[in-house]
Amino acid sequence: MRLQVVLLHFQSFSTPDEDGQHYVLKFIITSDAAVGKSSLLVRLTDRRFLATPDPTLGVEFGSKLITLPGPESTVVKLQLAQRACAASPGAIIGGGW
Ligand SMILES: Nc1nc2c(ncn2[C@@H]2O[C@H](COP(=O)(O)OP(=O)(O)OP(=O)(O)O)[C@@H](O)[C@H]2O)c(=O)[nH]1
Ligand SMILES: [Mg+2]
């Protein structure tokens, strides 16, 4: 029943026309079937709860932009992927992600 959220990639960017910093973080969510990966992904990216979700075929993706409060413009982009069942992160990286 264990669900894992693994950080695959982290990168920071400075933007020429702003003082702030931008960050991109890529995560993969893995677990056995029907543990709640899609529910977590949709809740985080869309603030919805799926009452009767269908199983994931292949890979599902989602992303979310967060602007951190403060004097400088700091934007964090979360890119998330979930795979149908427990699989090594390499299986998705191999697919070009
Ligand atoms: N009560 C409750 N049920 C949840 C929660 N998260 C998921 N579920 C239920 O668990 C079941 C499976 O949820 P999914 O999000 O489809 O799980 P999944 O891991 O993406 O499934 P696969 O893609 O088929 O591997 C569904 O019936 C959900 O409604 C939760 O936080 N609370
Ligand atoms: Mg799913």
- The mean pLDDT value for 4-14 works out to 94
**Residue bearing the CA closest to ligand 1, atom 30:** 36
Which has more pLDDT, 87 or 22? Answer: 22
Domains in the chain: boundaries: 4-92
Name the average pLDDT for the chain: 87
Q: Which residues line ligand 1 (CB under 6 A)?
A: 31, 33-39, 50, 53, 55-56, 84-85
Ligand nearest to the CA of 31: 1
- The mean pLDDT value for 59-88 works out to 87
pTM over 0.75: yes
DSSP state of 84: S
How does pLDDT run across 10-40, given as a tens digit for each residue? 999 987 777 788 999 999 999 999 999 999 9
Alpha helices in 1-97 (DSSP H): 37-46, 89-93
Q: Give the CATH fold of the 4-92 domain.
A: Rossmann fold (3.40.50)
